[in-house]
Amino acid sequence: MIRTFFFCFALVFMSNLNAQTPCVDGFAGEYPCDGLDLLSVRTLEELGGGANGNDCWGWVDPESGREFVLYGRANGLSVVEVTDPINPVFAARVPTATVQSLWRDVKVFDNHAFVVSEAEGHGMQVVDLSQVLDVEDAPEALTPVSTYLGFGNAHNLAMNESSGFAYGVGTNTAGGGLHAVDVSDPTSPVVAGTYDGAYTHDAQVVNYAGPDADYAGREIAICFNGSAGVAIVDVTDKADMELISSFNYTESAYTHQGWLNDSHDMVYFNDELDEQGFGNGTRTYIADLSDLDNPVVLGFYQSDNTSSDHNLYIRGDKLYASNYMSGLRVFTFSPDGNLEPYAHFDVRPDSDTTSFYGTWSNYPYFPSGNIAISCRTVGLFMVADPEFVPTNVSENAPSSAVLLQVFPNPARGTVMISGMPSAQRMRVLNVVGQEVRPWRRVPGLQRLNVDVSDLPEGVYLVQAEAAHGAARTARLVVKR
């Protein structure tokens, strides 16, 4: 186990105030913000160095709930434990397979990381992530369990975890189109087919669950093809992948990347170069995919800032866009599908220019709700939405109970508690109702990171009481 993992918050409130930086009056420390608190920053040098940082993704150990960021660098991949997001631990590294490159991309399937790069001859490294759970001398160098060499360089990688297929895009094969690899056995990836309809810069591949009955249950790729716009491809039969439709839009410069909403009837995507080429504000384009044969571009949302956009992702009712020099921009959806600003965090407060030196990507899918932001020049940021409510509550509690949220649960060290009322009293009780410790409530704090590593293994009750007597509770299991 990583020995430094559990150094974190004490149960006294002053340590909580000193360990994270809330967004107050538009700033979290030096960083402009709105609605997102800063949890921590780890510089590129602290995470292994190299000429630059790039993409990021995430992994959660299914047994323990421990959370890890996979942070790409020019010379390799960093595996960073962020279960305690205030004190990230650089747990392991995966050196580049050949030479350094500005570009590196990573996705996860079956507890393995799949890493590609524009580095010549790199192929796709496959790394068993369970190795990081028992690291004692961090950062440990991880050896891939396999390397797929059906392509050399690749600009990006799309992963359909529901089907067990990875899709290299922008590779040196198939004209840069889709290169499908069966990764159902991560130790032995096998080519499944290619599609050379157009160069694909990035893609999302899903088992389609949208309103178009003609494609129900089919495996569909939404391809973002640079100057060629967007293509929708049926990839169910890897030996005969077929174009369904394609479209472009006014003032198209370079269609970069995008993501489907949960109902698969809308796609939100960006253009990396239209801000430079046409002088636009940062735009997110919106297309209706209710009929996959006849997609319709509805328009775009244009931000006040002018920075170039990069990667965006959707989780539930929010869109998380990494916009280089203006940072992470979070939006909610209006009833007509348009975007409404919700929150932001700027990792490069020095300017909002169209240069490419700020946030490359983000990962908003951790169960804790904590968000990873990768910055090309600075490093890795962890931020939090104080209004986020984790989903892993006590399943056995009566439906009428109003619960606190505790994550991870079971826990070995630090837990995050949210959903707290304006409590005057907070405490932990053991199974016979004895108070094992109280702590003071921090006024206005929506989430509390608490160190329970000194509690004996067992079941506890976390309780917060408001002045008028109402209480919220959560069941907490402590393991050793």
How many angstroms separate the CA atoms of 23 and 85, rounded?
16
Does residue 2 have a pLDDT over 50? Answer: no
Give the whole-number percent of the chain exceeding pLDDT 70: 87
State how many domains the chain has.
2
Mean pLDDT score, 359-377: 95
Mean pLDDT score, 199-211: 97
* Domain identity same for 291 and 424: no
Phi, psi of 365 (to 5 degrees): -105, 10
Would you place residue 11 in the very low, low, confident or very high pLDDT band (cuts 50, 70, 90)?
very low
How many angstroms separate the CA atoms of 274 and 272, rounded?
6
- Does residue 396 lie in a domain region? no
* Domain identity same for 362 and 454: no
pTM over 0.95: no
Helix (H, G, I), strand (E, B) or coil at 17: helix
* Domain identity same for 316 and 457: no
Cis peptide before 85 (omega within 30 of 0): no
Mean per-residue pLDDT over the chain, rounded: 87
> How does pLDDT run across 278-297, given as a tens digit for each residue?
999 999 999 999 999 999 99
Would you place residue 250 in the very low, low, confident or very high pLDDT band (cuts 50, 70, 90)?
very high
How many angstroms separate the CA atoms of 403 and 166, rounded?
39
* Domain identity same for 380 and 413: no
How many angstroms separate the CA atoms of 234 and 457, rounded?
51
* Domain identity same for 287 and 436: no
Predicted confidence at residue 423, as pLDDT, reads: 56
Here the CATH number for the domain that contains residue 131 is: 2.130.10.10
Domain that holds residue 253: 35-384
